[in-house]
Amino acid sequence: MTLSSHKLLSTIHSPADLKKLPLDQLPLLAQEMREVIMTTVGANGGHLAPNLGTVEICLAMNVVFNFPVDRLLWDVGHQCYPHKLLTGRYPQFPSLRKKGGLCGFPDPSESPYDLFAVGHAGTSISTAVGMARADQLLHKDTKVVALVGDASIVNGLAFEGLNNAGTLKRQMLIILNDNSMSISEPQGAFANYLEHLRVTTTYEEVKKRVTQLLEQIPYGQQISNVSYHIKQGIKNTLAPGHIFEDLGLKYFGPVDGHDIPGLIEKFNELKDLNAPAVLHVKTVKGKGYEWACDDPTTFHSPKPFRVEGCRVVIEKGTGRSWTNAFADAIVNLAKKNDKIVGITAAMPDGTGMIKLKPLFPDRYFDTGICESHATAMAAGMTKAGLRPIVAVYSTFLQRAFDQIFQEVCLQNLPVTFCIDRAGLVGDDGAVHHGFCDLTFLKAQPGMVLLAPSDEKELNRALDLSVALESPSVIRYPRDNVPPEPLGEDSPWTITKTGGKSRTLRQGTDATFLAYGSTAWQALDAAKLLENEGLSVGVIDARFCKPLDGEMLKTLFAKNGGGHPILTVEDHSIINGFGSAVIEHAQEKRYDARLVTRLGLPDRFIKHASRPEQFKEVGLDPAGLARSARAAIEEARAIPTEAAPTNRTLPQMR
Ligand SMILES: Cc1ncc(C[n+]2csc(CCOP(=O)(O)OP(=O)(O)O)c2C)c(N)n1
């Protein structure tokens, strides 16, 4: 792709340039935008079909509204690429999702046209209501627009926002971008409701027709004026529901989301409406490329691909992903145990849960983008005798924190959570890293926290978790499983002294105490250090809660209590696995100074490839080796008498 090949787009440096273009040029601009999006996502991977569907909405919004003085709030934000192209970021677009390049989601550090860094569904209506209220109180004359998809609007938070938006006494426009798809099929009654609205005549037409109908009845004019209920009843029969109007929002549509003049006209009309409103816009996910329209799930967020004639070849990942390993594991488990049911919150493909569906359709549940509900539902199912496994991305599990506490842990219900994308996620960046699951899960009494380091271990961990009488969480990253088991097979057990770890490698100079998949990098680091004559061990901790007390006792006593211990985790070092080890050491009066915590620093990590991010935070084998070298040198530099010892300080009690 050469930038100069886009005759119109290359002249748009800001929406001001767009506003000067004649209306009849806009379809050509839309075509160029689609080309750029398709080529860039083909090269870099990213969200494709959602962005192809929002090209005309973005064009029309930027023609009518005066961003960034007017406010535009994105929901999820994965469909904002056309907006980036129109707001001065076309020249940088080839760097999309690359280290140092444009973010794949809205990002205020990138442009004043992006108000919030977002990536989670359901938030736009609430932030829009907030901005609308603030602008009103601060006497700012702004228009506020929220753009939300049909699958995201079913989110609990979005409904809370809608409920409150109806009380606004000023303009606020919610554009409902309805392509009748989530990543996969949308779920639940609301999806059916919207489907129904999509195929009915526009609401305004229905209102007009109802009024005409009533006027034809003798004394109809009077009836239409007095008998609101009759009118409402007929209206509901012809255009049923209208939840939005009942919530206090004016409803308009549905309108064609690819008709630029129609959208401009509608936005112009609604811009000056002094009330909260919903404009229902029908779009086609993948618009512009038949192959993307035909398979919007595959092209929701594909890996890099190339188009060969009418064939599209998507780059195949090498190796076997943790997701695939999980998918096979849950199928095996379900075959052995008919109490097992699988739950996903709108991520059947992303989590691998979809594999369960054809084999056990009655034991497979997709709740839509409703992590809180999925968790509370799992609690109910457990209480009633089933063994649910909830597969969810770490970053989205945050939505269910309160249900994990109250509905699951407080009841001590043995729900298993399998958390995918735990740790750094690569090019999706800061909004999607699973950096803090241990932080909020560790504090839950009774919770068992497990992390396997290879596929065999994942199966073992799952077996143990479904045999437990308490809640448990198994975390694994957006990565491949090691091609071979990392160590000897040994049982996963929990005894009086904690969850049993396994030793992968003995070392006399220091030990990496690795949690989960990082054991692989730790082993590689130990091999690098071996070449320098340093003997560094690797322990695969397996459990963050309960920790292996016996192993820790031995480790802290090693070398007379002077053995450096480096905890390794793909998680924030704040209140993660390493912190749990230090807390344990402090409780047992071991010398916590022996511990160096290696993990994610106290800042948000931007998009880049996962290996680049690992390098950036020092979790790659070279970085781990560097830290181990430093810890060993530090330990050696301390004079013997001052060396940290395993004094096993007198117990306080
Ligand atoms: C809280 C949360 N859960 C799950 C996701 C994963 N996710 C990203 S986009 C998406 C589908 C969104 O569908 P919709 O809002 O209709 O937009 P579309 O992609 O169809 O344009 C999902 C489930 C998310 N971003 N946030």
Catalytic residue among 285, 355, 363, 505: 285
**Residue nearest atom 13 in ligand 1 by C-alpha distance:** 182
CA distance linking residue 428 with residue 605, whole number of Å: 11
Quick one: pLDDT band at residue 161, thresholds 50, 70, 90?
very high
Residue 312 DSSP SS3: strand
Answer whether 285 contacts ligand 1 (Cβ < 6 A). Answer: yes
Judge whether 320 counts as a catalytic residue. no
Cα of 479 from ligand 1 centre, angstroms: 21
Q: Which atom number of ligand 1 is nearest to the Cα of residue 151?
A: 16
pLDDT, tens digit, 9 for 90 and up, residues 497-539: 999 999 999 999 999 999 999 999 999 999 999 999 999 999 9
Judge whether 285 counts as a catalytic residue. yes
Judge whether 583 counts as a catalytic residue. no
CA 611 to chain centre: 20
The pLDDT assigned to 645 comes to 47
The structure tokens 């076997």 sit at: 320
Cα of 78 from ligand 1 centre, angstroms: 8
pLDDT at 647 over 50: no
Contacts for 455 with CB less than 8 Å, ≥ 6 apart: 320, 325, 329, 481, 482, 485
The pLDDT assigned to 230 comes to 58
Mutate to test the pocket of ligand 1, among 125, 182, 351, 395 (most ligand atoms within 8 A of CB): 182
Quick one: pLDDT band at residue 51, thresholds 50, 70, 90?
very high
Cα of 98 from ligand 1 centre, angstroms: 22
Flag the least confident range among 233-242, 456-465, 472-481. Answer: 233-242
Flag the least confident range among 127-136, 229-238, 277-286. Answer: 229-238
Answer whether 346 contacts ligand 1 (Cβ < 6 A). Answer: yes
Answer whether 181 contacts ligand 1 (Cβ < 6 A). Answer: yes
The pLDDT assigned to 368 comes to 96
Answer whether 452 contacts ligand 1 (Cβ < 6 A). Answer: no
The pLDDT assigned to 238 comes to 55
Instruction: Supply the mean pLDDT for the chain.
Output: 93
Answer whether 154 contacts ligand 1 (Cβ < 6 A). Answer: no
pTM value is: 0.93
Cα of 413 from ligand 1 centre, angstroms: 29
CA distance linking residue 551 with residue 559, whole number of Å: 14
Flag the least confident range among 1-10, 83-92, 114-123, 307-316. Answer: 1-10
Average pLDDT over residues 282-306: 96
Catalytic residue among 97, 143, 355, 399: 399
The pLDDT assigned to 650 comes to 37
Average pLDDT over residues 598-627: 98
pLDDT, tens digit, 9 for 90 and up, residues 20-47: 999 999 999 999 999 999 999 999 999 9
In the chain, the percentage of residues whose pLDDT exceeds 90 is: 85
Quick one: pLDDT band at residue 101, thresholds 50, 70, 90?
very high
Average pLDDT over residues 413-439: 98
CA distance linking residue 368 with residue 151, whole number of Å: 7
Answer whether 399 contacts ligand 1 (Cβ < 6 A). Answer: yes
Count of CB atoms within 10 A of residue 353's CB?
A: 28
Count of CB atoms within 10 A of residue 560's CB?
A: 11
Answer whether 432 contacts ligand 1 (Cβ < 6 A). Answer: no
Q: DSSP strand E in 202-325: where?
A: 250-256, 276-282, 305-308, 311-314
CA distance linking residue 129 with residue 199, whole number of Å: 29
